[in-house]
Structure 1
């Protein structure tokens, strides 16, 4: 029998809000101001928060990080290594409006299934990654 539909597991809005608050709590402990976006499996935002004092551009960068992490189901920073010796591929991907290789975008995996992604922007790449990891850990 041929199957014509799929079932896809998505993160709930409540889980996204819980994660967002965990990311902000971590940012406050690091004394930084971030924006963060969590997207569902379709790439649409479930939750987006901007801390007072975060750079205005961080809102868009956070969403792009989440979108890129979801699209490729890997951390955005991984692209720095993957593309180091592939300038043509890098140029092609950079022509995509939502692609970024800046660290701070992570897929959200629950029970071995990608259910969304988070993007954090506003601190250093390491700080953004730390906040994103902290948010994901809030679900464990």
Structure 2
């Protein structure tokens, strides 16, 4: 019998990533919500900075989920569907799907171990916070 071996994101790594994202948010002068999930979409760690928008809590979680569910940054969705009216108008009603920037898969050796979602700034600012967090992967 063969067993599947896989990497898993640890709580310790998730917290380091959140700290890096928070630092970037402070540099940008914004307050954000940051969610790190495992490869099954389960929350590993979450942080809501002081004064971060309340509605962005769920958006950050959904960005992280979308990133692991499809293995691509959330910013890649809109360009893929913008010229497909049926898809554009239909898929946006899919629960937890986010089609704008701020969610990235977390990969090690090409394998998805989790996802990160940031929400509270512009899509570009949220992505900058994610990118700062992803630099913590060793």
- Which ranges of structure 2 fall in alignment gaps of 5 or more residues? none
Equivalent residues in 2 for 1:45-84, closer than 5 Å: 45-84=43-82
TM-score, normalized by length of structure 2? 0.94
Q: CA deviation at 1:9?
A: 1.6
Aligned residue in 1 for 2:120: 122
Q: CA deviation at 1:18?
A: 0.6
Number of positions where the alignment pairs a residue of Structure 1 with one of Structure 2: 138
**What secondary structure, in the 3-state scheme, does the structure 2 residue paired with 1:11 have?**
coil
Aligned residue in 1 for 2:17: 19
Q: CA deviation at 1:139?
A: 2.2
> Distance between the aligned counterparts of 1:98 and 1:115, measured in 2?
19
Q: CA deviation at 1:10?
A: 1.3
> Distance between the aligned counterparts of 1:92 and 1:68, measured in 2?
16
TM-score, normalized by length of structure 1? 0.93
> Distance between the aligned counterparts of 2:64 and 2:42, measured in 1?
10
Q: Which runs of 4+ in 1 moved over 6 A?
A: none
- Which ranges of structure 1 fall in alignment gaps of 5 or more residues? none
**What secondary structure, in the 3-state scheme, does the structure 2 residue paired with 1:74 have?**
coil
Q: CA deviation at 1:88?
A: 1.6
> What RMSD, in angstroms, separates the aligned Cα atoms of the two structures?
1.3
